[in-house]
Chain A
Amino acid sequence: MHELNICFSLIRILEASAKNALPPIPRIKTVWLEIGELAGIDLEAIRFSFPIAATHSLAKDAILEIKTQAGRAHCHNCGKDVMIASLLVPCAICGQYNYTITQGKALRVIKMETE
């Protein structure tokens, strides 16, 4: 359940970003994340963990908006760039598994809306 640890890291980032703002931030209302399909992160576990990690923070009761980033790979067999929905699927063009992931591992906080 690394998602809970990740949510605690997220809260530290949010609070650090809010710390020096003027006028002071009383509450974080919404948080936008970008998470890749290939990042090894379970979105439901993030949604479950976030309120727990946020309990004693400025982000208590904040809404979490998650944008998913599609997986992409460069296939070394056929030379094409293809969509990859998981680490287990072959290249959609040639059916081989010899590819390098080029996108889909994002685990980023984009922005937050505060009061």
Chain B
Amino acid sequence: MCGYCGCGHDHEHSHEHAHASRIIQIEQDILRENQCFADQNRIYFSKNHIIALNLMSSPGSGKTTLLVETILALKQRCALSVIEGDQQTDLDAKRIAATDVPVLQINTGKACHLDAHRIGHALIDLAPSSNSVLFIENVGNLVCPALFDLGENAKIVILSVTEGEDKPLKYPHMFEKASLMIINKIDLLPYVSFNVKRCIEYAKRVNPHIEVLQTSATTPQGVDLWCDWLLQTYDAKITA
């Protein structure tokens, strides 16, 4: 049994009825358990003045490369830490560790997404410092992570130009939940048929409020604008 939550899942209350029908009313959100852990995480972030950003994308969109560039650009200006989520291996955590910021790898095993319970445990192990930015790199998947609130301040979806401009329509739940879409690998635009304007139009169709940035983590075009977005978010929350 863990010290964080007991892991016994004893939070639900039974509503037994002593009548012969033996119909038991439950009336409960099935994701409530995750929601409770997410709320705990949100309180933790707020109390410790931590901005938590949930980065989501397909596998291979360049999340980790973008993250490494972001860390190198920002680590002198604010405290940073990273939670890496992958089904297997600590390859991404090693890439982040090379930048000298605290990092923790979560291997989800068979699971296709991070959930709030795992993040709660990771926060105990990682102990991110107060007044910092925590990046949570979710498992590469445009479907399942969209449904699981981690208690983060913002969900960010990264889409690379090699994947096709129609992804916001094919995976609308992810784009509907995100506050920011980063179109990555824009240095490859001359070599692929990716219509940036149409991609943004599709994303705004499922989420009229979504913000959009364009980056190339390798050149590193647009990374400065993304860092500005981060610092503005950080200043708005931390100094508020």
Bound together, the chains give a CA A110 to CA B172 distance in angstroms of 27
Known contacts A2-B147, A17-B14, A97-B205; decide if A107 and B26 are in contact (CB<8 Å). no
Does B77 make an interface contact (CB < 8 A)? no
Find out whether the CB atom of A9 lies under 8 angstroms from the CB atom of B23. Answer: no
In the complex, which residue of chain B has the Cβ closest to the Cβ of A90?
Answer: B205
Find out whether the CB atom of B24 lies under 8 angstroms from the CB atom of A114. Answer: yes
Task: Count A-B pairs with CB separation below 8 Å.
Answer: 105
Find out whether the CB atom of B22 lies under 8 angstroms from the CB atom of A115. Answer: yes
Does B1 make an interface contact (CB < 8 A)? no
Bound together, the chains give a CA A14 to CA B23 distance in angstroms of 12
Does A54 make an interface contact (CB < 8 A)? no
Kindly list chain A residues whose C-beta atoms are within 8 Å of the C-beta of B14.
16-21
Most buried by A among B10, B28, B112, B206: B28
Distance of B172 from chain A, by nearest CB (Å): 4
Find out whether the CB atom of A2 lies under 8 angstroms from the CB atom of B16. Answer: no
Q: From residue 26 to 45 of chain B, which have CB atoms closer than 8 A to chain A? A: 26-34
Q: What secondary structure prevails in chain A residues at the interface with B?
A: mixed
Find out whether the CB atom of A112 lies under 8 angstroms from the CB atom of B24. Answer: yes
Bound together, the chains give a CA A55 to CA B197 distance in angstroms of 49
User: Interface code A41-62, partner B: CB below 8 Å = 1, 0 otherwise?
Assistant: 1000000000000000000000
14 pairs of residues in contact across A and B, judged by CB atoms under 8 Å: A1-B112, A5-B111, A9-B34, A12-B9, A16-B14, A17-B26, A21-B24, A41-B147, A90-B205, A107-B30, A109-B26, A110-B26, A111-B24, A113-B24
Q: Identify the B interface with A (CB < 8 A).
A: 9-16, 18, 21-34, 111-113, 115, 143-144, 146-148, 169, 172-173, 176, 204-206, 208
